[in-house]
Structure 1
Amino acid sequence: MTFTIQLPAPRPQRVSFFRRLAKQKLAVAGLIALAVVVMVAFFADLLMPHDPNAVNLTSVLLPPGSNGHVLGTDELGRDLLSRLIVGTQVSLLAALQGTTLTVVIGVTLGLAAGFFRGWVGKIIMFVTDVLMSFPGIMLAIAIAGILGPSLNNAMVALGIVLAPGAIRLVRGSVLAVREETYVEAARSIGTPSGQILFRHILPNVIPQLIVYIAILAGLVMLIEAGLSFIGVGVQPPQASWGAMLSSSFGYIDRAPWLAVFPGVMIAGCVYSLNLLGDGIRDSIGKKVTQ
């Protein structure tokens, strides 16, 4: 007599999020570029060859590679490389502040508008629609002008202006999840609303929110550069990439490198963040917590 032992079929191996992300070459390249920028900002004091605010009127508009200035000097004789390095700190701080404020406002009000129907949701969405009816950059300029020109005030303005987009994103995700069977089941057995919100609904919003944050950080960095360009963001003599672009405008014919280097840094960081956001979007899976 023979016995046949049937082994269970092997379960399909689940590919982790990080393995899927590692296969996204452009996203990995963007992540590496951003890591380099973060390291430069962290070790800025060690990497700067000169004082970024030291004025030397005898070395004005020197081309790259002259007299110990790798990237040349600006209209006041300040070392351009040192100012770019300091500008890295400012841009990352701006991205962190603006993105954090936008996400906090967006998640808080978006969850409330999507989960609590009635007058609460109506008021939140009415204010959101009013804010979105104004041109975003004009509204940011107006708010920053009222609060006063500074980096912190500019980021507060950006947080207010960009929050409606985050509110709509979170609200849409909440509306889709709150009708799921397991949410209805939790509600039917008397589970408190707060527990349903934070245990069942919020975890399903996080995947879309992570992708949004990566793209939002690039947008914040770009708008901060624009606000500094027109003088309502970072104030002299503090260096930022947007302020450096603004000061280079009058010397673009004689010293084009003044605009090229900060412009490349802005474009590179924003592009890297977008690549990372796209990679996360393609790699992440929607996790439903039941």
Structure 2
Amino acid sequence: MTQTTQSTVRPTTRPVGPPKRAGFLRRLAQQKLAIAGLITLAVVILAALFGNLLSPYNPDATSLSAVLLPPGSPGYLLGTDELGRDLLSRLISGTQVSLMAALQGTSLTVAIGVTLGLAAGFFRGWVEKIIMFVTDVLMSFPGILLAIAIAGILGPSLSNAMIALGVVLAPGAIRLVRGSVLGVREETYVEAARSIGTPSGQILVRHILPNVVPPLIVYIAILAGQVMLIEAGLSFIGVGVQPPQASWGAMLSSSFAYIDRAPWLAVFPGLMIAICVFALNLLGDGIRDSIGKKVTR
């Protein structure tokens, strides 16, 4: 007598989020430019964390007897500014401000973009229409002018400038997340989850969100550099960090009056901005190439 065993056929197709960690790290380690960017960022982060220990002087301490000293002067490795403040100490202090700005602005942008992008791509209908209408309206304005207007209304400060940046840059994140959601919401495993009555929130967290993470990681790395650059611009025109707090953008702004007599006042903060933004872009490109395009199977 033959015994027949019945088994329930279950769908084997399921989403996977980011590639396996070991494979991803191995591919990233082969990206020499990305590793160079990562090392550069690690040095900058360490300088920000231990800035109080590394700074030879108080970054806000003035000395009228040491005004506009050139780099290499005794006791002042990178020279001094128009008030006799040590430029190296102010650069280190500005590192803390720039990293805090990148963290605040990027976090706010991603939080808005992920929340509204998931809602627009998954629920569609009137939810998508309202979200995308507001997104299109915001994108129709020049970004930097809108950021200046919002920061001007809220008042000049680093936090208010980052709120302005979060609003201005959110449409790009919303579009990215929405596009990723639209690419997977009709997949078989999502339809199967719907058919058995899985709550929408669980579908979003378990099946949709893991497929949004890979392109979002790349976007975050590049976005952080963009936020850092715009923050420097806002501080340059006076709606970001306020004196006497050190900021690379504010240091650039104050250096213009002395550009012919003390060009180093503009060179060093400008170089720091360029290095950090370049390193973030290199890291973002390396992560993109290491992740690859296929995120579901």
TM-score, normalised to structure 1, is 0.94
Q: Does 1:44 align with 2:22?
A: no
Q: Distance in 2 between matches of 1:230 and 1:91?
A: 16
Give runs of aligned pairs for residues 120-269 of structure 1, distance below 5 A.
Answer: 120-269=127-276
Q: In structure 1, what is the equivalent of residue 39 of structure 2? A: 32
SS in 1 for 2:243: coil
Closer, same or farther in 2 for the Cα pair 1:14/1:100, shift >3 Å? closer
Corresponding residue for residue 288 of structure 1: 296
- Residue equivalent to 1:115: 122
For 2:7, the equivalent position in structure 1 comes to none
Residue in structure 2 matching 1:75, options 67, 82, 92? 82
CA distance in 1, matches of 2:154, 2:204: 35
Does the residue aligned with 1:128 lie in a helix, a strand or coil? helix
1:58 alignment partner, SS class: helix
What letter corresponds to residue 289 of structure 2 in structure 1?
Answer: D
Question: How many Å separate the matches in 2 of 1:85 and 1:140?
Answer: 26
User: 1:267, 1:14 → 2: CA distance?
Assistant: 31
User: Which runs of 5 or more structure 1 residues have no equivalent in the other structure?
Assistant: 1-12
What is the letter of the counterpart of residue 144 of structure 1? Answer: A
Percent sequence identity is: 83
CA RMSD between the two structures: 1.3
Q: Identify the residue that residue 10 of structure 1 maps to in structure 2.
A: none
1:93 and 2:100 matched? yes
- SS of 2:78's equivalent in the other structure is coil
Between the aligned partners of 1:288 and 1:202, the Cα distance in structure 2 is: 12
CA distance in 2, matches of 1:193, 1:68: 63
Structure 1 residue 14: Cα displacement:
10
Give CA deviations for 1:22-49 in whole Å, capped at 9, x if unaligned: 0000000000000000000000010000
Question: What amino acid does structure 1 have at the position aligned with 2:215?
Answer: Q
CA distance in 1, matches of 2:35, 2:249: 27
SS in 2 for 1:16: helix
1:55 equivalenced with 2:82 (yes/no): no
Cα displacement string for residues 58-78 of structure 1 (whole angstroms, at most 9, x for unaligned residues): 111100011300000001110
- For 1:3, the equivalent position in structure 2 comes to none
**Paired residue type of 2:244:** P
CA distance in 2, matches of 1:229, 1:156: 17
Count of equivalent residues:
277
Are the counterparts in 2 of residues 91 and 221 from structure 1 also a CA contact under 8 Å? yes
Unaligned runs of at least 5 residues, structure 2: 1-19
One-letter identity of the residue aligned with 1:47? L
Q: Distance in 1 between matches of 2:220 and 2:182?
A: 20
Q: CA deviation at 1:287?
A: 3.1
Greater RCO between the two (CA within 8 Å, min separation 6)? 2
Amino acid corresponding to residue 139 of structure 1 in structure 2: L
